[in-house]
Amino acid sequence: MQINIEIQLSNQYDMEKRSLYYWAQMYSRQIREGMAYKELTKTVSINIVDFNYLKQTSNYHNVFHLYEDEEKFQLTDVLEIHFMELPKLLAKWRRREISLWENELVRWLLLLEGADNQEILQILEEIAMKDPVLYQAMNAWEETSEDPRIREAYFDRRKAILDEKAAIREAELRLQEALEEGMAKGIAEGRAKGIAEGKAEGKAEGRAEGRAEGRAEVAKKLLVLGFEITKIAEATGLSEEEISGLKD
């Protein structure tokens, strides 16, 4: 069995496609000339993410396989993809729905949060007195953190992560503002035009035209802010060709 573990601290988007791509690369690298397909081994991809990603569930740990749509039987077990979302895990731990003492996976995942949470760190230190593997890991972690070069690199990396998260949040807020402003402006203009014509048909056409103008206005602002055309298309409902035409 092959296992690949990836830790993502900020949302790079399209994580499911990224994970499938790396899974496929790792799975396909097994094949050699003269090798039978039945010799290909199970390949597991584990994604540990420090953000909420799967909106469909509140579970912090979700596992995916290949299943038939109607009868739900498994085609093969060679594909297995895990998503472990730390914010959901922390929320459950704070609500006392899970315990570090009782769940080994929770223990190891929250070890990643130990540097920033003294309560978690204290509990893990207590558990480590009875768990030799955890004790060894925490000792190695402590020894490594005493190296001034590593400590400096850690703080530099932490600052970069915080800056990146702040930039992403700022972009999200700007996107929301642009959507609200553009749609409101377009709808208002459309209503005014329709009402001025004094006919039901004119009102409907005006509103429709206003909404279209509003979407175009939003798209123009997002282009200026540097958003990708594909993301703008998702946000506004315009086609990529229409958005490209707004650049001219």
Is residue 236 very low, low, confident or very high in pLDDT (cuts 50, 70, 90)? confident
Q: Which among 184, 239, 169, 192 has a CA at the least distance from the CA of 217? A: 184
Compute the chain's Rg from CA coordinates.
25
Q: In what order do the strands lie in the sheet with 43-49?
A: 2-8, 43-49, 74-85, 61-67
Q: Count of CB atoms within 10 A of residue 98's CB?
A: 18
* Residue 202, pLDDT above cutoff 60: no
pLDDT tops 80 at residue 50: yes
Confidence of residue 34 (pLDDT cuts 50, 70, 90): confident
Determine contact, residues 1/23, Cβ cutoff 8 Å. no
